[in-house]
Structure 1
Amino acid sequence: MTISVNVRQVVGPEDAAKRDTQGLRKDFLIEGLFSKGQINLTYSHLDRMIVGGIVPAEQDLVIDQVKETGTSQFLERREAAILNIGGKGTIIVGDVDYPLGFQDALYVGMGQGTLSFRSHDPANPAEFYLLSAPAHRACPTVPITLDMAKKVRAGSTEEANARTINQYVHPDVCESCQLLVGLTIFEPGSVWNTMPAHVHDRRMEVYLYFGMEEATRVFHFMGEPHETRHLVLKNHDAVLSPGWSIHSGAGTGRYSFIWAMAGDNMSFTDMDKVPMESLR
């Protein structure tokens, strides 16, 4: 079994500002994560975050060693959070089974051993979305359902951004070393996320957009507040966001997104808000 790993180097704001659309997509956009029967990982040098898609079919898929981490086992010095956005499946951590339905998650602490992934029905496979960051201490492995997530309601219908922020890997729900992970779900008719915008230089972030119709697109805004750019994203596209960049979007139809952060600060509210008049 082959694990495909794509490596992304760090891009600075001056470089990003000079790039055309293809140049921005090359280093910030992650496409093709979810392919049946495959493990696809992207290793970003932004806080060493690994972003992955695992879609087991008839056979289990296994993550044991990933050469790019330089360790004998993937979780030897890492933690991971995994959300299922497909059919029912099971994650086996060491020799313990954790069944996951749609929008269920599993936090896996450092040093927990091999990860195996299984779909209950190969015709309707699980789609496991994996986030992993370096860890310096071990935390307990915890399954987290959508009902268990901390709910933060934000926005309004009038501003087309009424949404519920479901905090899965968060100090109030699940202990972790540095990962923060959650799922934002919009009310019908609301399409804007994370606007007014913010940056947080103390950590990076990655968004995965999903739950979209084939023709739906999200216009994702990035860049320094005074030098913004945009990327047009489809269902199951992910986008990397450095600490210097805003990360906001508007969809042409309904969508949800999973956000994940890694870096210095574990406080969800640690952000530098950008006044609307400062955006360019």
Structure 2
Amino acid sequence: MENRYAVGPEQTKQFTTEQLRNEFLMESLFVSGEINMVYSHYDRVVVGGAIPTGSTLKLDAGDFLRTDYFLERREIGIVNIGPKGTVNVDGEVYELNKRDCLYIGLGKKEVTFESEDTSNPARFYFVSALAHKEYPTRVLPIAEAEPTKLGSDAESNNRTIYKYIHSEGIQSCQLMMGMTLLEPNNMWNTMPAHIHDRRMEVYLYFDMEEESRVFHFMGQPHETRHLVVKNEQAILSPPWSIHSGVGTNNYTFIWAMAGENYTFKDMDFVKMEDLK
């Protein structure tokens, strides 16, 4: 488990590109045969990736969380971004095809990951947040998730949003999670930009070609920065920061949020003329 402390906007203004990447970019979540995790002090989220290639991989933070088991005080959302796999939750097995989501609530003691075909393994991405109440474990296949169409080809942001974990979908304490798919020849997401100072967000960019890149924009609206992101890399987005991106090709990304408000209505939109 890698530990990352929160930094503020004034400190971030002084960062070099390397410092910016070290604080906010997660470059190596997905490693064959391993679970890799990052603990962020922004709303205490844990971000991770698991690729089971041999033996079963167990969700275990060792002594980092100082709890008896990972979900003792937490909830978690898991999305499979690869071939078919299974997640075993206290003896109950849940199958996940590509882009299916699984929510596991507070108090489940044992969570393990397996691939149906270890030579072509599943790729599990997960985000965990603190929880105060147990909600039922639930699978939501992407085929059953309600799609929302936004944007247009003229704006280069024709996209479909699938909401998995939210107030009208899978219930949770504070974790919100979903996925956005951009249509071919569309590259922009979330522009005009916005901030939500009451909750942080995590972006995972995937389904990208090896040579493709996303230029992820962050920072305060009047003091923006950018990070160059490859396939299957993730970004920690602080509550004070915009979070928007443009790719060299179309791409898919998973967004997850945790914090004060359990709503999509607390966003503060930024006028294009105010971005600098």
Tell me the TM-score normalized by structure 1.
0.97
Alpha-carbon separation, structure 1, partners of 2:17 and 2:60: 36
1:91 CA displacement: 0.1
Residues 150 and 172 of structure 1 are in contact (CA less than 8 Å); yes or no, is this contact kept in structure 2? no
- Residue among 39, 45, 61 paired with 1:43: 39
- Residue among 148, 151, 155 paired with 1:152: 148
Q: Could you say which residue in structure 1 is the equivalent of 2:130?
A: 134
Q: Could you say which residue in structure 1 is the equivalent of 2:52?
A: 56
Q: Could you say which residue in structure 2 is the equivalent of 1:279?
A: 275
Give the CA RMSD over aligned residues: 0.8
1:33 CA displacement: 0.6
* SS of aligned partner of 1:27: helix
- Deviation per residue, 1:58-96 (Å, 9 max, x gap): 210001444222211100000000000011100000000
1:146 CA displacement: 0.6
- Residue among 201, 207, 212 paired with 1:205: 201
Alpha-carbon separation, structure 2, partners of 1:75 and 1:107: 12
Residues 167 and 181 of structure 1 are in contact (CA less than 8 Å); yes or no, is this contact kept in structure 2? yes
Q: Could you say which residue in structure 2 is the equivalent of 1:76?
A: 72
Residues 194 and 248 of structure 1 are in contact (CA less than 8 Å); yes or no, is this contact kept in structure 2? yes
* SS of aligned partner of 1:86: coil
Q: Could you say which residue in structure 2 is the equivalent of 1:122?
A: 118
1:144 CA displacement: 0.7
1:131 CA displacement: 0.4
Higher mean alpha-carbon deviation, 262-271 vs 242-251, is at 262-271
Amino acid at match of 2:18: Q
* SS of aligned partner of 1:15: helix
Q: Could you say which residue in structure 1 is the equivalent of 2:19?
A: 23
- Deviation per residue, 1:153-207 (Å, 9 max, x gap): 1111100001011001111111100000000001111100011000000000000
Higher mean alpha-carbon deviation, 264-273 vs 188-197, is at 264-273
Ranges in structure 1 where 5+ consecutive residues have no aligned partner:
none
Is structure 2 residue 259 aligned with structure 1 residue 256?
no
Alpha-carbon separation, structure 1, partners of 2:109 and 2:213: 38
Alpha-carbon separation, structure 1, partners of 2:128 and 2:117: 26
CA 1:51/1:234 → structure 2, altered by over 3 Å: closer, same or farther?
Answer: same
- Deviation per residue, 1:12-44 (Å, 9 max, x gap): 000111111001001000011111100100000
Alpha-carbon separation, structure 1, partners of 2:169 and 2:144: 7
Alpha-carbon separation, structure 1, partners of 2:106 and 2:190: 31
Amino acid at match of 1:160: S
Alpha-carbon separation, structure 2, partners of 1:124 and 1:180: 29
Q: Could you say which residue in structure 2 is the equivalent of 1:218?
A: 214
Alpha-carbon separation, structure 2, partners of 1:173 and 1:230: 32
Alpha-carbon separation, structure 1, partners of 2:157 and 2:268: 20
Amino acid at match of 1:18: Q
Alpha-carbon separation, structure 2, partners of 1:187 and 1:136: 38
Alpha-carbon separation, structure 2, partners of 1:8 and 1:242: 12
Is structure 2 residue 43 aligned with structure 1 residue 13?
no
Alpha-carbon separation, structure 1, partners of 2:165 and 2:64: 25
* SS of aligned partner of 1:33: coil
Alpha-carbon separation, structure 2, partners of 1:151 and 1:67: 40
Percent of pairs identical after alignment?
54
Alpha-carbon separation, structure 2, partners of 1:108 and 1:84: 14
Residues 65 and 72 of structure 1 are in contact (CA less than 8 Å); yes or no, is this contact kept in structure 2? no
Higher mean alpha-carbon deviation, 231-240 vs 141-150, is at 141-150
Amino acid at match of 1:9: Y
1:224 CA displacement: 0.2
1:105 CA displacement: 0.9
Amino acid at match of 1:12: G
Q: Could you say which residue in structure 2 is the equivalent of 1:246?
A: 242
CA 1:269/1:152 → structure 2, altered by over 3 Å: closer, same or farther?
Answer: farther
Higher mean alpha-carbon deviation, 146-155 vs 157-166, is at 146-155
Is structure 2 residue 43 aligned with structure 1 residue 32?
no
Amino acid at match of 2:50: I
* SS of aligned partner of 1:43: strand
